[in-house]
Chain A
Amino acid sequence: MVVDEIFILVGVVLGFGGWAGFILLFTDLRKWVPEWSIFKYCRKNGVPVISLVTPGSGESTWLAGTKDETGDPIFNTGNYFGIQVDPKFSGEIIPNRYSRGLVVYNFATTLPFAIDTRHALAIQTTITTVRKKFPKLGFLTNDQLVSLLCTDRDDLGQYCKDFIEAYGPEIGRNMDMKSDELTVLITEAQDLLANTAIKGGWTSFAYAFKNISTSYLAQDLHQLQMLVERKIRKQIGDKMSQYVFITIAAFGALLVMVGGAIAYTIISG
């Protein structure tokens, strides 16, 4: 029948069209939304998404916050070197929450701990406020400024003295600053920041991570973990070699006893 042939032809065309559309959509999805499988997995399994930012370039990667075992304090980020500590263990972090239960934590490739938007804004506010209100501190880099601001008052005088001693000639070209003056300025900045509200607005996690004072890296924590593991493995290895020796000796003694018993049975029998 003619009608049947047309129906078959239309069916075949529609089938091919459907597959072609599906393949086009799938390749598009893979090319332009490579994170779709991560979001799908995380939403489906109630796992957080890790936004891993590289502070130098600002480039970010999405990763599924899976763990080797339930209750592990660190995420298993596969090939990404370094350690990311689960914020449930490290402290109070407010994640970015999206629809249908998607939770995103902000990590960096350098720091083992997550930060949230409040922290990023606080760091931004700190630097912008000090730069605006204390132009005399302009000779300090962000790293140096944050390090000085984070120094305890008891240590501040000595640290400022070291700073002026180390960078004195360099500073001398721009301004004549004594260590006491630097101490006073940093103290005033600390007092001002203690009474300054965190400003809202846009922020950058890469910028925030870059200006966190601590230099303890995710890689350092990873190294620490490996060192402790190596130590334990070595201790267990030493114990194991002792046990193996004892087991072999006991087995040898057993063989001698059994052999002796058999020999005695044969001779006496």
Chain B
Amino acid sequence: MEDEYINNNSIVEEESYNGDDAPDYDPDMGGGSFPPEMGGVPDGGQYSAEHYNYLVNLHSTEYQRDLMKMVTRSHLSPKLKRALKIVVRNFFSHTAFLSYQKDGDMAEIDLAINLNIAVASATKADINTPEYPHILENISSHFNRFIITRTFGPNRERLVQGRQSMETITRMADNDEKRQKRKGLGIWGMITGNTGGDE
């Protein structure tokens, strides 16, 4: 059984369950062969800057691997498998996680449209399998409930990256500096004995 690792998400795909003759994910067809400067994931899935690796780990979901496995191992038709994999790769990509979803409803509608189009690849034998509604429900619930909630809202970048506290400290330092400037020569402080350093 040959395992295939995809990027740094470690998406393990088992060839024996693969619906395609071609591998499920070809780095040459994705962003794998592009340098990070061009927006691609570097070969081997590791960015040179630790910051990006941190971001990618932070924004990834381990469930993408499970979903891909679930689709690959299912007894759905190869066409539907391909369509579902396209949806999963698109909506569970790093770009999707790193994007700022201004409007949660719109993101949900986009996923619903994509899943609706993917259904066009399903046969009647597919929809009669118990796996079909299960996979579709898992894709939509994970995206709508767990990802959107993380990528929605004006402060989500700062909150997720832990920058809120850093910015607060920087802002406090800036405010101190401004306050010092406002004090001018500090004559009043000299008179009252208040140097302003411990405010």
Residue numbers of A with Cβ under 8 A of B are 141, 143-144, 146-148, 150-152, 154-155, 158-159, 162-163, 165-166, 212-216, 220, 223-224, 227-228, 230-231, 234-235, 238
> Are B113 and A224 in contact, with the CB atoms below 8 A?
yes
**In which size bucket is the chain B interface?**
20 to 34
B96 close to A (CB within 8 Å): no
User: Which B residues are CB-close (under 8 A) to A147?
Assistant: 77, 123-126
Query: Are B77 and A155 in contact, CB atoms less than 8 angstroms apart?
Result: yes
Q: Do B113 and A162 have beta carbons less than 8 Å apart? A: no
Minimum C-beta distance from A234 to chain B (A): 6
Determine the residue in chain B with the shortest Cβ distance to A140. Answer: B125
Distance (whole angstroms) from the CB of B124 to the closest CB of chain A: 4
Instruction: Flag if A234 contacts B103 (CB, 8 Å).
Output: yes
Tell me whether B117 and A224 are in contact (CB under 8 A).
Answer: yes
Among candidates B105, B110, B112, B122, residue contacting A216 with C-beta atoms closer than 8 Å: B122
Report chain B residues within 8 Å CB of A150. 123
Q: What 0/1 pattern do residues 99 to 131 of B give for CB contact below 8 A with A? A: 000010110011011001101101111111100
Tell me if B77 and A216 are in contact (CB < 8 A).
no
| One of A143, A158, A230, A234 near B125 (C-beta < 8 A) | A143
Flag if B112 contacts A227 (CB, 8 Å). yes
With the chains together, A246 CA to B20 CA distance in Å?
54
Number of A-B contacts (CB under 8 A): 81
Is B19 in the interface zone, CB < 8 Å from A? yes
B79 at the interface (CB under 8 A from A): yes
Given contacts A155-B79, A166-B129, contact A223 B124 (CB under 8 A): no
Residue of B nearest to A151 (CB): B77
What secondary structure prevails in chain A residues at the interface with B? helix
Residues of B with Cβ closer than 8 Å to A?
A: 18-21, 74-79, 103, 105-106, 109-110, 112-113, 116-117, 119-120, 122-129
B111 to chain A, nearest CB (A): 10
Q: Are A227 and B123 in touch, CB under 8 angstroms?
A: no
Asked if B78 and A151 sit within 8 Å, CB to CB, the answer is: yes
Q: Supply 14 A–B pairs (Cβ within 8 Å), ascending by A.
A: A143-B125, A147-B77, A158-B18, A158-B20, A158-B21, A212-B124, A213-B124, A214-B123, A214-B124, A220-B119, A231-B106, A231-B109, A231-B113, A234-B103
Given contacts A227-B116, A231-B106, A234-B109, 6 further A-B contacts (CB under 8 A): A143-B124, A143-B128, A150-B123, A155-B19, A215-B122, A234-B105
- Contact, CB under 8 Å: A215 / B123: yes
| Contact in complex: B75, A158 (CB < 8 Å) | no
Q: Using Cβ atoms and an 8 Å threshold, which residues of chain A touch B120? A: 214, 216, 220
Contact across chains for A154 and B21 when beta carbons are under 8 A apart? yes
Chain A nearest CB: distance from B76 CB in Å?
8
Q: Least Cβ distance of B78 to chain A in Å? A: 4
Q: Does the CB pair B113–A227 fall under 8 Å? A: yes
Whether A228 lies near B113 (C-beta < 8 A) is yes
Residues of chain A contacted by B21 (CB below 8 angstroms) = 154, 158
Complex Cα gap A165–B129 (Å) = 13
Chain B residues near A220 (CB-CB < 8 A): 116, 119-120
User: Which residues does chain A contribute within 8 Å of B19, judged by CB atoms?
Assistant: 155, 158-159, 162
Chain A residues positioned under 8 Å from B79 (CB to CB): 151-152, 155
**Complex alpha-carbon distance, A151 and B78, angstroms:** 8
